[in-house]
Homo-oligomer: A and B are copies of this chain.
């Protein structure tokens, strides 16, 4: 279905309703907006006879056999592995991949969405931190780690189960007093569920726990203060840590070593992601491993699957625990 020039676009709807483009995007993708805005947008949609085309129709237009991937960078091992696995999954289906490293900047992302709307690419897989992304409802888009509305499938590891697994593992390994440490984007996204899963696991096991949550831009040194606040008479009163990423685990382990705390003898640390040294050697730390290959395959499957009338809004894929030297068992 090629778009005709007379067909109204989301921009037309925004102009007609007198609201921002982002508001229209939210309404058509089923995200929450103020009720009065919703009514204005819906009225404008009706007046203009704006068609919320189905995903499948979008994809059926002239094929380019090209899919764009939006990802912050390829240096972070989790992203590097995703890029690699998505590339292989696409090549297997004879699709090419346009790569766009967003560097956590929003500029380029919208441009690729426009390309998809103009059928210059067949679809987009995106791991994006842009809260202002405007996605026309007929744009084939699969999101990783962050829900962009019920019309756009989101694929993630089972972050809740991963958090719970970390708590249970620490309990199994004899911890009595643990902490959850987090730094990162304050956007609502799937990885945020690691915290709730961890709490749930602690409660199920009667494991005493505390939390320290920093936002992007906060100084990591606040974790150092947190650790010394929990040190009494030269002894740390925490014996287990679940860190929201392997990167944070790496940084916390360094702080613990600086303080003379032996890892894993005195404090055990579990990270999240499953980063390996040099991409394929040992795990950097004990960790909850994200199933990157399965995430990649699922993204490609959902993006290219035309036959599917109803697509799942959120797919959570199972994680696993891997020993990496910072917990007690071998």
Contact = CB atoms under 8 A, between A and B. Distances in A.
Contact of A80 (B88, B91, B279): B279
Copies of this protein in the complex: 2
A20 interface: no
A97 B98 contact: yes
A21 to B, nearest CB: 23
Contacts of A33: none
A275 B278 CA distance: 7
A84 B97 contact: no
Interface string A70-112: 0001111100110110011001000011111101000010000
A62 to B, nearest CB: 15
Nearest to A66: B98
B100 A87 contact: yes
A323 interface: no
Given A80-B75, A84-B74, A91-B101, A277 B280 contact: no
A240 B74 CA distance: 33
A99 B99 contact: yes
Contacts of A66: 98
Contacts of A247: 278, 281
A74 to B, nearest CB: 5
A87 B101 contact: yes
Given A96-B98, A97-B99, A101-B84, A75 B279 contact: yes
A300 to B, nearest CB: 14
A123 to B, nearest CB: 15
Nearest to A112: B96
